[in-house]
């Protein structure tokens, strides 16, 4: 099923935001929509978007490559994206991330064996006063977690594991 | 002093439309639409001396007046791409006092004759965008957005648009490219957005905090606004305070308050009895100021900060204490700019890459004095040679760290090579 068949209402609402002759502006919201189920944009979805906004599929791929929140490869259900930029680092973000890696037994860029969490290191998230902090990205959206400790993070992962934590 | 921008700290629940209305909400927008000509609104903002709060400090009213009146439609785009390391003020305004910001968007739209406005949020502000969508829907329901507003012919709609993780999109022409569904790379200027903006149409791009000032100015007049701040930098500013400080957070102060006041009075000073070493007043893009008494007593306004060798920028004050070595610090900032360079201009794309090589080498203790000189040279070669300010920004901390904290580099050099 194509993107437009799967999400007719959403696609309509996205296009309504922009002038009718400016379809291309819809590419970013459409990419988020395409990521909803799998957490990444499939080759088929790329083609759907290219057809919907009448540009080449290579151009859609170039946009995915340019922006960090679009993905063309499958990862864990949740991407845990820890900020280690200067203000966060001054408040212990590097140590936090290293400890978290140790506790999870994975390196940055790797996924927990159960496929739940991929650990990533990212640039500033505008949460500098509440470091250490990270965001959780899934197909459903992005959620901030601030003033974190390793213990609190492990508890969160446990809750995600049990499925009693929904990312809004 | 009552808050002008962070009013949620005085008025709980101001993010509810009834509470906002009860506290004077939308009166400025109604006054503008029902009783003022668009040009009069622009004149008031001009007279207030309001300057862009995103970093550049360009006079807001003047920007509005530049809109090309022979080319229609006009657009307003609110820049909510807040991505400078150390900056988190727009987020608090949108999350806690959303209607004041949206009213500012609405007034700006009326002033420049726009019937559609967009809020471009960085993709990470996913939840903020959802929240603003709700608030926009409430405004539509209450008759503050839509057709024939306040019984006039004026109509306005506001939409949110989410970016997807790219610092460069805070640069206004890259932001417009991104909104048009392209990779966010800066345009060659001129033409500037007020003559050639979104979809090639005249467009005003204003920062969130800038727009949040507008309802106060229109409601109370330019003189009331000028009671805050200094002659050349009037008004209030939200300072984002982060780094080695006891109480990081946002502080709304009049422009011209000193660094000492912000860091020690409000921010509670430096943790663990350590000493302040340096200040970055404009986030990672900032020059490093040596935090001596002269610097601490410098007023934080657009004119005074250059006296101590930096810019006020977005007023994202990162405090650095004496446990931090500058070779480590610039390795961090360069890593950021290397990642965020959009790749369009060669000096920035290649230069940040080479600077990262060198800062890493220096930090790992394998470098010689020649490497430090080379780093300085690469940084200076980038300056003034890129389309947007990102290239320049990437060099500020590097050049000033080497110039102002040379001892940090000397002690890191490979042994036996203290003198090159």
Provide the shortest C-alpha distance from residue B159 to chain A (in Å).
7
**Is residue A167 less than 8 Å (CB to CB) from chain B?**
no
Provide the shortest C-alpha distance from residue A161 to chain B (in Å).
22
> Which of A23, A129, A168 is closest, CB to CB, to B248?
A129
> Which of B127, B163, B244 is closest, CB to CB, to A143?
B127
Residues of B in contact with A19 (CB under 8 A): 199
- 160-219 in chain B: CB under 8 A from chain A: 161-167, 178-184, 199
Q: Quick check: A28 and B180 CB within 8 A?
A: no
Distance of CA B17 to the CA centre of its chain: 27
**A134-138: strand order across its sheet:** A117-122, A78-83, A134-138, A141-145
Last residue of a domain, one of B203, B226, B249: B226
**Is residue B136 less than 8 Å (CB to CB) from chain A?**
no
**Is residue B394 less than 8 Å (CB to CB) from chain A?**
no
**Angle ∠(B170,B281,B60) on CA atoms, nearest 5:** 50
Same domain for A96 and A55: no
Residue A93 placed within a domain: yes
Q: Is residue A165 pLDDT above 70, yes or no?
A: no
Residue A168 placed within a domain: no
Provide the shortest C-alpha distance from residue A28 to chain B (in Å).
6
Average pLDDT, chain B: 96
Q: Find out whether B128 and B121 touch, Cβ atoms under 8 Å.
A: yes
Same domain for A89 and A28: no
Q: What is the CATH number of the domain that holds A33?
A: 1.10.10
Q: Find out whether B114 and B205 touch, Cβ atoms under 8 Å.
A: no
Residue appearing with tokens 């902090």: A133
- Residue B351 CB neighbours (<10 A): 26
Q: Find out whether B379 and B393 touch, Cβ atoms under 8 Å.
A: no
Provide the shortest C-alpha distance from residue A78 to chain B (in Å).
14
Residue A167 placed within a domain: no
Show the domain range for A138.
Answer: 78-162
Residues 6+ apart with CB under 8 A from A118: A75, A76, A78, A79, A80, A109, A110, A111, A112
3-state secondary structure at position A36: coil
Answer positive or negative: Cα dihedral of B209, B214, B220, B224: positive
Q: What is the CATH number of the domain that holds B389?
A: 1.20.1440.230
ipTM exceeding 0.90, yes/no: yes
Residues of chain B whose pLDDT is less than 50? 418-420
Same domain for B353 and B292: no
Determine the Cα–Cα distance for residues A3 and A38; give it in Å rounded to an integer: 13
Provide the shortest C-alpha distance from residue B79 to chain A (in Å).
14
> Which of A24, A130, A144 is closest, CB to CB, to B181?
A24
Q: Quick check: B161 and A28 CB within 8 A?
A: yes
pLDDT tens readout for residues A94-108? 999 999 999 999 999
pLDDT tens readout for residues B141-160? 999 999 999 999 999 999 99
pLDDT at residue A168 in the model: 44
**Is residue A24 less than 8 Å (CB to CB) from chain B?**
yes
Q: Quick check: A85 and B82 CB within 8 A?
A: no
Residue B269 placed within a domain: yes
Q: What is the CATH number of the domain that holds B291?
A: 3.10.20.600
pLDDT tens readout for residues A59-104? 999 999 999 999 999 999 999 999 999 999 999 999 999 999 999 9
Pair of tokens at residue A70? 């679009």
Average pLDDT, chain A: 95
Nearest residue on chain B to A132, alpha-carbon basis: B243
Residue A30 placed within a domain: yes
Same domain for A137 and A62: no
Residue A73 placed within a domain: no
Show the domain range for B252.
Answer: 236-321
Pair of tokens at residue B136? 């926009």
Same domain for A146 and A83: yes
Provide the shortest C-alpha distance from residue A158 to chain B (in Å).
23
Q: What is the CATH number of the domain that holds A108?
A: 3.40.30.10
pLDDT at residue B1 in the model: 74
- Substitution target in A29, A41, A66 with the highest count of B β-carbons within 10 Å is A66
Q: Quick check: B183 and A91 CB within 8 A?
A: no
- Substitution target in B242, B339, B401 with the highest count of A β-carbons within 10 Å is B242
Q: Find out whether A107 and A117 touch, Cβ atoms under 8 Å.
A: no
pTM: 0.96
Determine the Cα–Cα distance for residues A135 and A84; give it in Å rounded to an integer: 12
- 101-130 in chain A: CB under 8 A from chain B: 122-130
Q: Quick check: B163 and A28 CB within 8 A?
A: yes
Confidence of residue A109 (pLDDT cuts 50, 70, 90): very high
């Amino acid at each position: 099923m194509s993107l437009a068949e799967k999400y007719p209402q959403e696609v309509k609402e996205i296009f309504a935001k922009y002038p009718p002759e400016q379809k291309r502006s819809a590419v970013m919201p459409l990419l988020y929509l395409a990521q909803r189920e799998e957490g990444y944009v499939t080759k088929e979805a790329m083609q759907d978007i290219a057809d919907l906004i009448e540009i080449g599929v290579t151009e859609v791929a170039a946009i995915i490559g340019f922006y960090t929140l679009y993905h063309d490869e499958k990862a864990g259900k949740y991407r845990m994206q820890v900020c280690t930029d200067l203000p966060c680092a001054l408040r212990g973000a590097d140590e936090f991330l290293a400890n978290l890696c140790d506790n999870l037994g994975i390196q940055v860029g790797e996924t927990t064996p159960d496929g739940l969490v991929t650990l990533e290191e990212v640039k500033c998230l505008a949460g500098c006063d509440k470091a250490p902090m990270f965001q959780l990205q899934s197909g459903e959206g992005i959620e901030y977690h601030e003033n974190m400790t390793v213990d609190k993070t492990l508890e969160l992962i446990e809750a995600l594991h049990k499925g009693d934590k929904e990312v809004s | 002093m009552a808050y002008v921008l962070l009013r949620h700290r005085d008025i709980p629940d101001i993010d509810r439309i009834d509470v906002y209305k009860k506290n004077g909400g939308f009166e400025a927008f109604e006054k503008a639409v029902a009783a003022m000509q668009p040009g009069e609104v622009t004149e008031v903002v001009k007279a207030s001396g309001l300057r862009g709060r995103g970093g550049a400090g360009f006079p807001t009213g003047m920007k509005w007046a530049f809109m090309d009146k022979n080319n229609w439609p006009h657009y307003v785009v609110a820049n909510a791409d807040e991505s400078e390391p150390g900056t988190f003020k727009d987020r608090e305004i949108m999350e806690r006092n959303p209607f004041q910001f949206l009213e500012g968007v609405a007034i700006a739209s009326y002033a420049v004759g726009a019937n559609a406005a967009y809020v471009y949020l960085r993709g990470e502000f996913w939840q903020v965008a959802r929240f603003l969508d709700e608030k926009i829907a409430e405004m539509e329901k209450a008759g503050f957005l839509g057709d024939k507003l306040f019984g006039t012919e004026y109509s306005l709609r506001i939409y949110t648009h989410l970016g997807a993780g790219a610092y460069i999109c805070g640069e206004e022409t890259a932001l417009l490219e991104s909104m048009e569904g392209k990779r966010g790379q800066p345009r060659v200027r001129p033409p500037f957005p007020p003559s050639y903006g979104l979809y090639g149409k005249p467009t005003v791009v204003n920062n969130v905090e800038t727009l949040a000032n507008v309802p106060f100015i229109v409601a109370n007049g330019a003189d009331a606004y000028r009671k805050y701040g200094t002659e050349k930098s009037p008004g209030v500013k939200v300072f984002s305070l982060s780094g080695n400080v006891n109480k990081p957070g946002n502080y709304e102060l009049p422009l011209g308050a000193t660094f000492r006041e912000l860091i020690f009075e409000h921010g509670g000073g430096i943790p663990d009895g350590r000493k302040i070493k340096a200040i970055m007043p404009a986030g990672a893009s900032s020059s490093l100021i040596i935090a001596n008494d002269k610097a601490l007593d410098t007023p934080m306004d657009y004119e005074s900060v250059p006296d101590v060798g930096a810019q006020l920028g977005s007023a994202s004050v990162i405090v650095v204490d004496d446990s931090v070595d500058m070779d480590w610090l610039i390795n961090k900032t360069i890593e950021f700019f290397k990642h965020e360079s959009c790749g369009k201009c060669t000096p920035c794309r290649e230069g940040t890459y080479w600077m990262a090589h060198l800062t890493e080498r220096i930090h790992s203790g394998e470098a010689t004095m020649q490497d430090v000189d080379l780093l300085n040279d690469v940084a200076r070669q980038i300056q003034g040679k890129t389309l947007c300010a990102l290239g320049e920004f990437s060099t500020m901390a590097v050049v000033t760290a080497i110039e102002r904290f040379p001892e940090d580099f000397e002690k890191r050099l490979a042994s036996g090579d203290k003198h090159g």
